[in-house]
Amino acid sequence: MCGIVGVISKQPVNQLIYDALLLLQHRGQDAAGIVTMQGTKCYMHKARGMVRDVFRTRNMRALPGHVGLGQVRYPTAGNAYSEEEAQPFYVNAPFGIVLVHNGNLTNAMALKDELFDIDRRHINTESDTEVLINILAHELEMAARDLPLTPEEIFKAVGAVHQRIKGSYAVVALIAGHGLLAFRDPHGIRPLCYGVSGDGSEVMLASESVALEGTGHRFVRDIAPGEAVFITTEGQLHSQQCAKDPQLHPCMFEYVYLARPDSVIDGISVYQARLNMGETLAQRLISTMPPSEIDVVIPIPESSRPSAMQLAHKIGKPYREGFVKNRYVGRTFIMPGQSVRKKSVRQKLNAIGLEFKGRNVLLVDDSIVRGTTSKEIVQMAREAGANKVYMASAAPPVKYPNVYGIDMPTQEELIAHDRTMEEIRAYIGADALIYQDVDAMKRVVGALNPSIKGFEASCFDGTYITGDVSVADFAAMKAQRAAQPGDEEDAESRSRLALQSRSDA
Amino acid sequence: MCGIVGVISKQPVNQLIYDALLLLQHRGQDAAGIVTMQGTKCYMHKARGMVRDVFRTRNMRALPGHVGLGQVRYPTAGNAYSEEEAQPFYVNAPFGIVLVHNGNLTNAMALKDELFDIDRRHINTESDTEVLINILAHELEMAARDLPLTPEEIFKAVGAVHQRIKGSYAVVALIAGHGLLAFRDPHGIRPLCYGVSGDGSEVMLASESVALEGTGHRFVRDIAPGEAVFITTEGQLHSQQCAKDPQLHPCMFEYVYLARPDSVIDGISVYQARLNMGETLAQRLISTMPPSEIDVVIPIPESSRPSAMQLAHKIGKPYREGFVKNRYVGRTFIMPGQSVRKKSVRQKLNAIGLEFKGRNVLLVDDSIVRGTTSKEIVQMAREAGANKVYMASAAPPVKYPNVYGIDMPTQEELIAHDRTMEEIRAYIGADALIYQDVDAMKRVVGALNPSIKGFEASCFDGTYITGDVSVADFAAMKAQRAAQPGDEEDAESRSRLALQSRSDA
Amino acid sequence: MCGIVGVISKQPVNQLIYDALLLLQHRGQDAAGIVTMQGTKCYMHKARGMVRDVFRTRNMRALPGHVGLGQVRYPTAGNAYSEEEAQPFYVNAPFGIVLVHNGNLTNAMALKDELFDIDRRHINTESDTEVLINILAHELEMAARDLPLTPEEIFKAVGAVHQRIKGSYAVVALIAGHGLLAFRDPHGIRPLCYGVSGDGSEVMLASESVALEGTGHRFVRDIAPGEAVFITTEGQLHSQQCAKDPQLHPCMFEYVYLARPDSVIDGISVYQARLNMGETLAQRLISTMPPSEIDVVIPIPESSRPSAMQLAHKIGKPYREGFVKNRYVGRTFIMPGQSVRKKSVRQKLNAIGLEFKGRNVLLVDDSIVRGTTSKEIVQMAREAGANKVYMASAAPPVKYPNVYGIDMPTQEELIAHDRTMEEIRAYIGADALIYQDVDAMKRVVGALNPSIKGFEASCFDGTYITGDVSVADFAAMKAQRAAQPGDEEDAESRSRLALQSRSDA
Amino acid sequence: MCGIVGVISKQPVNQLIYDALLLLQHRGQDAAGIVTMQGTKCYMHKARGMVRDVFRTRNMRALPGHVGLGQVRYPTAGNAYSEEEAQPFYVNAPFGIVLVHNGNLTNAMALKDELFDIDRRHINTESDTEVLINILAHELEMAARDLPLTPEEIFKAVGAVHQRIKGSYAVVALIAGHGLLAFRDPHGIRPLCYGVSGDGSEVMLASESVALEGTGHRFVRDIAPGEAVFITTEGQLHSQQCAKDPQLHPCMFEYVYLARPDSVIDGISVYQARLNMGETLAQRLISTMPPSEIDVVIPIPESSRPSAMQLAHKIGKPYREGFVKNRYVGRTFIMPGQSVRKKSVRQKLNAIGLEFKGRNVLLVDDSIVRGTTSKEIVQMAREAGANKVYMASAAPPVKYPNVYGIDMPTQEELIAHDRTMEEIRAYIGADALIYQDVDAMKRVVGALNPSIKGFEASCFDGTYITGDVSVADFAAMKAQRAAQPGDEEDAESRSRLALQSRSDA
């Protein structure tokens, strides 16, 4: 998962992109990068780390120009499919293209071979973004051979890209000397929207509406699934549907915990979606146990707050912030001769005894993935003096892996994979366990924008919308992994090395 | 304001001090430092920045030993009295002493001259901590002249220190080859407590109980005002009252916004204190306006949450988190030829329109200092569509400067200084303004520990407990400042340069 | 001017390239870079600074593979033609090509437009190396369209490159998955040679033979002018003459001061060439003044030593090192409110009084460019007590600019441009001035390899061998510069910014 | 070994100290530090590395003031006696003292215990400089107890210091608010001199005269052995002999290879001393073998040049620079899974074949210590084609360890310890070996300043002038070392950690 942004302005854009990336920082804290363009010359700075650490005054001063794009990257460890190299990526032929990408290509490996063998393009990293930019470069070259590069050729190239690549992708690309191109996969899995400044002279593209509003832009609309938008260097906007059978299926995880509550994605307020999930969760709860057994509703900060608040309101019980989050998270250093200390939830959360002592508490989390965190939190609640500890998940059981860019463990690590509700409850040690219902969730989130026909919710329902991946594949992959030990590690270490010269902090 | 910690253990203490500093990071984000001692040798690392940035693996590996202390420092700009240099401080004679300090000496300037002229001790910074360590060093030298350094001599020296210095101070000091010394000023203005590990083999001193509990220690007790505690290198604890007429007056600001809600300071739960303030604020509100005019209660995150929650509960209105805090804060870069952009509250907060649209909202903040932030927030609430905007402050009007280590603007910058309630309301643009009552606050916070006779609440009531400062002095200082323009700036720039060799990031 | 190196081995090559770059460091101290290839993946590290500072352990560990190349770059200020960006350069299509270059393209500007307009290749810097790699990339794409990339196609592409580019160039390029390509311009202006390891399993290409020998390789031969050498990843070497009418004209400056004395370039020992120049300089001296008037011969360190030593031997006078070079050169820092202090020769040299006092000294320098240094040195000799000070230049008068990659001032700044011998002598303040004769120099250096028909000696004789530049052009350029003030500065500041992410030291 | 400098001026001194340290860089490349004083406040920057790397613009700007001192430190590995911590050192009581030191205290260990037990001063490093500054601090405190600090008290304190410490020391110290103090041990083993600026307003103290002259100062005189010089902040100079029986015995190694040739130390030109050694070496040679057997004299660069030149002149044979020094020295990186590659002389030197082929060469080095380098060089000469290879050492056989601050291996590692001339010759593989005669050396160097009664030449003659060390002690130390394996390593690792906060490059 990542956050991306692009701007065309009449003013320098470096600070603007920086500010937008900060507003998208929750989408990725692993690396950050900005490219700006002045004349036909591009200026890049990217490095591992958070936005605040990556960009210093000298870097910002070296990012001139009125056009640019940026990205924040999520740390995805040991996952050969995911974005491992810092973005943006650059290719110099044809035209000079710089690209940022949020999503995950499911056929990146096959494409990589094609690019090397047939298109004679060198791929120097394991990043699917490098594959994507080269596919786009090749298709632009083909589309514009012996022709001037007009929006028509560009949209033709995007159409060809849609034909070749599979998976989820929201893309912003800069074509040197021409303008800013953005497009979204035919299912619109990953979000992308745009807005304009007050006087209309500035166009900003971003993963979430909060980046637009937080930088003083008026939200205009989401990019449609399969659609491409091209904004010339002069600021003229062209758009066209480039996919054959586009169908909007936004990723459910954006609403569950990924996006900021103050964003509106594909017409749905993330905050309202969470309130609604709290409401259905309350109904589920009531059908399971008498609310009178609950003394207080306590959220696990941060993203479960709206759901927990609404649930508390619904069942008429007090909502209390019984857990304090440790805002300042550090590291565990390995001293010579010491072994690694286990990372604990206790480093991140602290219970306020007053709110637990002698009470029956209902803890509400946004979702339960591995179950290990929930188990520890239940234990903390008991140690803080709780009488009974109930756990509610605002999302349904997470049973299947994600191949569309959400960082998820393998299927075997998912607590809800192959376990009954009772087994999960016993594992986490709660006195009761309440899960969101998957259909109820789709219904109440979907109700906020009736034009949406469905959601990408494969983690919950096992349906992979792009059609090229199935639950059966994962079993095969698992078998293959078992047969080739050490292979993953190699891929990882190789991929950490790229052609780009390193920033040495 | 700062956070301090000290540990005596049978194990390496570097990671422990690091973890404790992270738990105290809210008390100071400007600089951080750790000193450990192995044998009689001390190891130091300190630098500007947050704990996570200051300490890297190589620094931690260079901090061996079973005894140590650490500090996080608050940024205090342009204030000649406050802690401007990174702590810990070190003097090598007598014995070798390392010291960290939370507080502010009100007679530092006079002491500095005394030290130079009479005690022949060189003070190389503007930091009052350097003054404090040299006073302690001198008194230890005097007390132990021709005598072995026993707890008796140490407590005698602390007694002499209490005689010479004025103001607020909570101190942890390491005496090389002897042990860890801690003491608190005779009014106990700044907090200091200690705890022990499960097996009792480890003693930790810290500014707040959360640092003890978050690192697996059992809270034992607060250090009494004027008391000194000395723990030998072998772990034996001695304590003695060293002040003539000690009287506990904890700083009210700790409860208002400074301390973490999950800390207990001088027998008072910070969280409960805030709930209680919410309760009296509700009473004040009810006596001012009919609660029925309010649709929703919205806290200004973070520290006002408990007060707001309790107030909402009391007046029977929904509590909703209508503001989202931007967790990732960046900088505004100054480009060549550009002027400084004004820092705006909007970079820190974002309103969720749903919660404001067409409603009468009651915003609750922990306190109102300059009023500029409140003004902007009221404006944001209106832009988000609020019908009426009421503002409540969980603390009483802030009318006087702080000289005990809380970073406060000058008196003239305080919105409540010399202004009527109506003038303040008009300035911030609210439809109504409700302030906490100062006596009610003292009563309901004090009720949580009846043994406390009073609070250091000079900002609210103008009473300076140490007796050497008065409201009249500030007028004099103001006049003096007006007469010597530029002087403050000089002090600031000089003080930024110290003898310690610089860390070059 | 630069130094370049390339290796194909059966072993890791990072340390080998590093060692070779150190041996070529005298050819460029401004920036350094290495690329290695493992499988088809390339790994790069480059930065400004000297080799020793640019490469740290972590950088070296991130340079795996048995094939690679490197470069050290000379600082060339304000010269739009020269290499301003750190090398190596990389393009990913076709194949993935990495390239290092020593020399200067005289038609880079025209080629840049061609590349952008016709070949649709984006040039992001002012570096002619980026132009060169793109020309090569384009020609490789053309030559190998629909064909496998065999040596035949590669040599065809090099032939086409020779057709398009003008100037001086010695190139080493890595074609991902294929091998290492090296070629030299049709006049062989810049040097390039290769050698093999003892067992023949390793091939190294380098600017100077000293890099081969210093890393344990046996010198095999110089690359011929116009020739291309291609070594496959497996180590098989192919070579072919790719230019139409190649003619060897090595740069005379390599022998005068550029190359290390222990190198042999195009069959001529640099050391022997300098001895020979000393010999003819002695003859010139004798024909000018009686040697009996000279008490001692003193070289200006470093490169004039062999000439001075031979001259002293020839005229039977003692050779003495009367100047000590300050090996450790620092900076002049600009403090706030201070102006820039003039850099002085005295910071670099110090005279030993004993050797000057009361004597008639003959100072020998390798060449005289601006004359300012000579003037200061003459003055130093007088202050050290010399009776008479004579100055001899081992090179003839430098009268014309260099366009083939030697960093030279503009024509107007050259002391020998438009001045008589007497005017120069008067300017530098010597009692006599003796210059090398240009024909004598060509004769005695040329005598060391009779197969060489001529030298690139345009600075001395005004003949520009590539035929596309003439002395008349410089007058035109000068006029143009006068008409467009500030233009150069812009070019410079733009070119300092490149797409490559910066290394932040 | 180190280089030290101190300045009192009417101008800022940071650049001046920096320039002087560069001129003394040959005396130590391991670390560098500067302290300046403005008012009574001191500013320090010090770090490992060379001057050019340690000081950046931001560091220089943070060094204001008209008084200051600096130091460059030699790397001394695994030697518990030597300067291991970066200088300057600082103590804040009494007065505030900053100190730099060149030399080695032979009774540092005993003093350390005294300081801790009796003087109650904390020593936090293994550096004898820290011991020295604390002894000085203590004696200043004693001398000025209840008295104003006048030159009289200061000189009394220096007298007391001379009583307590043993070994070699040249010291410059800054007493905050008072002035600059310099003194030299009663034998004047390590050099120290001073000079003044043209207008006399500026006084500079430095290890070598070259630092004075290279920064525009006129050399005034050497500090006498045992003498102290005190310059007040206002620039008034006081001096006094503070030792009981001072006797000048300058270190012979300064003339052999340590000092710059253009320095004059204790009235002796280093350059002339080396010429003289060349002359006596020539006599020794002639008495050993017929000069006619020698074709050419070749120095091993750098410091043997004057001796070799004079020797060649004396025996009437050509002097030729047959070895080229690799000026740019890098590192050997240890890659995972690789073992350490042996450092070779070949990385530092390269032979020019022309000068060796078929000739009988006489190689001249300044001294032979371990013999391993000589062995390799002889081998290189043979490989370059020499017919016969003779080796001459401008210094006599090095047989004994140095305890006065010259970095020397242990006695067992010295090739001339316990070996006959023939054994040494056989070991290094030369056809003949000629050593300087120790008495001849003393005579011809001493002849340059007849007032000097003797030299510290213990490495050659086994006489330790301070009387507290004897050759017999080394055997005892060796036995002790053998009995306590691992101890040295511990000392080394402990000493690398100091209280000073680290600079993180």
**What is the tens place of the pLDDT at every residue in C146-201?**
889 999 999 999 999 999 999 999 999 999 999 999 999 999 999 999 999 999 99
Indicate yes or no: CB of D210 within 8 angstroms of CB of C329. Answer: no
Question: D482 versus A501: which is more confidently predicted?
Answer: D482
Indicate yes or no: CB of C306 within 8 angstroms of CB of D321. Answer: yes
Asked whether residue C477 carries a pLDDT value surpassing 80, the answer given is no
Residues listed for chain C: 505
List chain B residues with CB under 8 Å of D494: 41
Question: Which residue is closest to B96 within chain D, CA to CA?
Answer: D122
How much is the pLDDT for D281?
98
Q: What is the ipTM of this complex?
A: 0.88
Question: Which residue is closest to A503 within chain C, CA to CA?
Answer: C503
Which residues fall within 8 angstroms of residue A16, CB to CB, at 6 or more apart? A7, A9, A204, A215
Does D contact A via 3+ CB–CB distances below 8 Å? no
Q: Using pLDDT thresholds of 50, 70 and 90, give the confidence band for residue B332.
A: confident
Question: Of the given ranges (B332-341, C131-140, C160-169, C460-469), which has the lowest mean pLDDT?
Answer: B332-341
Indicate yes or no: CB of A91 within 8 angstroms of CB of C93. Answer: yes
How much is the pLDDT for D497?
28
pLDDT in tens, B451-477: 999 999 999 999 999 998 888 888 776
How much is the pLDDT for C227?
98
Q: Using pLDDT thresholds of 50, 70 and 90, give the confidence band for residue B386.
A: very high
**Active-site annotation holds for C42:** no
**What is the C-alpha to C-alpha distance for residues B60 and A109, in angstroms, rounded to an integer?**
42
**What is the C-alpha to C-alpha distance for residues C465 and C387, in angstroms, rounded to an integer?**
44
Indicate yes or no: CB of D262 within 8 angstroms of CB of C351. Answer: yes
C-alpha dist (Å) from residue B123 to B135, C188, D41: 11, 68, 8
Q: Using pLDDT thresholds of 50, 70 and 90, give the confidence band for residue A84.
A: very low
Asked whether residue C445 carries a pLDDT value surpassing 60, the answer given is yes
- Residues of D numbered 273-292 whose beta carbons fall under 8 angstroms of chain B's beta carbons: which are they? none
Q: What is the mean pLDDT of chain B?
A: 90
List chain B residues with CB under 8 Å of D45: 501-502
Q: What is the mean pLDDT of chain C?
A: 90
Indicate yes or no: CB of C327 within 8 angstroms of CB of D26. Answer: yes
* Nearest CA among C139, C141, C125, C117 for reference residue C88: C125
Nearest to B354 among A214, A272, A305 (CB): A272
Q: Are B367 and B256 in contact (CB under 8 A)?
A: yes
Q: Does B90 touch chain D (CB under 8 A)?
A: yes
- How confident is the model over A278-294, as a mean pLDDT? 97
Residues listed for chain B: 505
| SS3 sequence of B116-160 | HHCCCCCCCCCCHHHHHHHHHHHHHHHHCCCCCCCHHHHHHHHHH
Q: Using pLDDT thresholds of 50, 70 and 90, give the confidence band for residue C483.
A: low
How much is the pLDDT for A106?
94
Percent of chain D's residues with pLDDT above 70: 91
- Residues of A numbered 49-88 whose beta carbons fall under 8 angstroms of chain C's beta carbons: which are they? 56, 58-59, 62, 64, 86
Asked whether residue D71 carries a pLDDT value surpassing 50, the answer given is yes
Asked whether residue A340 carries a pLDDT value surpassing 70, the answer given is no
Q: Does C327 touch chain D (CB under 8 A)?
A: yes
Question: A44 versus B84: which is more confidently predicted?
Answer: A44
Q: Does C357 touch chain D (CB under 8 A)?
A: no
Q: Are strands C323-325 and C349-351 parallel, antiparallel or unpaired?
A: antiparallel
Asked whether residue D495 carries a pLDDT value surpassing 60, the answer given is no
Count CB pairs under 8 A between chains A and B.
124
Q: Using pLDDT thresholds of 50, 70 and 90, give the confidence band for residue A68.
A: very high
List chain D residues with CB under 8 Å of B86: 501
How far off is chain B from A251, nearest CA to CA, in Å? 22
Q: Using pLDDT thresholds of 50, 70 and 90, give the confidence band for residue A339.
A: low
Q: Using pLDDT thresholds of 50, 70 and 90, give the confidence band for residue B481.
A: low
- How confident is the model over B177-186, as a mean pLDDT? 97
Which residues fall within 8 angstroms of residue B371, CB to CB, at 6 or more apart? B415, B416, B424, B427, B428
List chain A residues with CB under 8 Å of B309: 319-321
B119, B174, B501, best to mutate vs chain D, most D CBs in 10 Å: B501
Indicate yes or no: CB of D335 within 8 angstroms of CB of C15. Answer: yes
Question: Which residue is closest to A137 within chain C, CA to CA?
Answer: C93
Q: Which two tokens stand for residue B406?
A: 């809380």
On whether the pTM is more than 0.95, the answer is: no
How much is the pLDDT for A473?
80
Residue D46, SS3 per DSSP? strand
Q: Are B24 and B70 in contact (CB under 8 A)?
A: no
pLDDT in tens, D313-324: 999 999 999 999
Q: Using pLDDT thresholds of 50, 70 and 90, give the confidence band for residue A76.
A: low
pLDDT in tens, C213-223: 999 999 999 99
How much is the pLDDT for C480?
67
Q: Does D326 touch chain C (CB under 8 A)?
A: yes
- How confident is the model over D434-450, as a mean pLDDT? 98
How far off is chain B from D115, nearest CA to CA, in Å? 10
How far off is chain C from D343, nearest CA to CA, in Å? 12
How much is the pLDDT for B78?
40
Q: Does residue A302 have a cis peptide bond before it, meaning omega lies within 30 degrees of 0? A: yes
Q: Does B343 touch chain A (CB under 8 A)?
A: no
Question: Of the given ranges (A76-80, A456-460, B146-150), which has the lowest mean pLDDT?
Answer: A76-80
How much is the pLDDT for B347?
82
Question: Which residue is closest to D131 within chain B, CA to CA?
Answer: B92
Question: Of the given ranges (A453-462, D421-430, D474-483, D490-499), which has the lowest mean pLDDT?
Answer: D490-499
How much is the pLDDT for C489?
35
How much is the pLDDT for C56?
94
Asked whether residue C505 carries a pLDDT value surpassing 60, the answer given is no
pLDDT in tens, B165-175: 999 999 999 99
How much is the pLDDT for D340?
63
Percent of chain B's residues with pLDDT above 90: 80
Q: Are A6 and A229 in contact (CB under 8 A)?
A: no
Asked whether residue D33 carries a pLDDT value surpassing 50, the answer given is yes
- How confident is the model over D66-86, as a mean pLDDT? 69
- How confident is the model over C449-469, as a mean pLDDT? 95
Q: Are A46 and A73 in contact (CB under 8 A)?
A: no
Count CB pairs under 8 A between chains A and C.
129
Q: Does A40 touch chain B (CB under 8 A)?
A: no
Q: What is the mean pLDDT of chain D?
A: 90
Asked whether residue D29 carries a pLDDT value surpassing 60, the answer given is yes
Percent of chain C's residues with pLDDT above 70: 91
Residue B251, SS3 per DSSP? strand
pLDDT in tens, A103-139: 999 999 999 999 988 899 999 988 899 999 999 999 9
Q: Does A125 touch chain B (CB under 8 A)?
A: no
- How confident is the model over A266-293, as a mean pLDDT? 97
Q: Are strands C296-299 and C360-365 parallel, antiparallel or unpaired?
A: parallel
Q: Are B187 and B466 in contact (CB under 8 A)?
A: yes
List chain D residues with CB under 8 Å of B44: 499-501
Q: What is the mean pLDDT of chain A?
A: 90
Asked whether residue C290 carries a pLDDT value surpassing 90, the answer given is yes
List chain B residues with CB under 8 Å of A70: none
Residues listed for chain A: 505
Q: Are B85 and B495 in contact (CB under 8 A)?
A: yes
Question: Of the given ranges (A266-280, A399-413, C8-22, C98-112), which has the lowest mean pLDDT?
Answer: A399-413
Q: Does B342 touch chain A (CB under 8 A)?
A: no
Q: Does A45 touch chain B (CB under 8 A)?
A: no
Per DSSP, which regions of C430-473 are E strands?
A: 432-435
Residue A387, SS3 per DSSP? coil
Asked whether residue D79 carries a pLDDT value surpassing 60, the answer given is no
How far off is chain B from A428, nearest CA to CA, in Å? 22
How much is the pLDDT for D471?
85
C-alpha dist (Å) from residue A443 to A269, A395, A399, A453, B53: 15, 13, 19, 10, 45
pLDDT in tens, A8-19: 999 999 999 999
- How confident is the model over D85-100, as a mean pLDDT? 94
- Residues of A numbered 130-169 whose beta carbons fall under 8 angstroms of chain C's beta carbons: which are they? 134, 137, 141, 144
Bridge partners (DSSP) listed for residue A230: A181, A238
Asked whether residue D277 carries a pLDDT value surpassing 90, the answer given is yes
Indicate yes or no: CB of A332 within 8 angstroms of CB of B261. Answer: no
Residues listed for chain D: 505
How much is the pLDDT for A77?
42
**What is the C-alpha to C-alpha distance for residues D197 and D395, in angstroms, rounded to an integer?**
36
- How confident is the model over C14-33, as a mean pLDDT? 95
Q: Using pLDDT thresholds of 50, 70 and 90, give the confidence band for residue A341.
A: low
User: DSSP letters of C266-290?
Assistant: TTEEHHHHHHHHHHHHHHHHHHHS-
Asked whether residue C286 carries a pLDDT value surpassing 90, the answer given is yes
Indicate yes or no: CB of B354 within 8 angstroms of CB of A319. Answer: no
Residue A451 DSSP code = T
Q: Which two tokens stand for residue D170?
A: 């040249």
Q: Using pLDDT thresholds of 50, 70 and 90, give the confidence band for residue C407.
A: confident
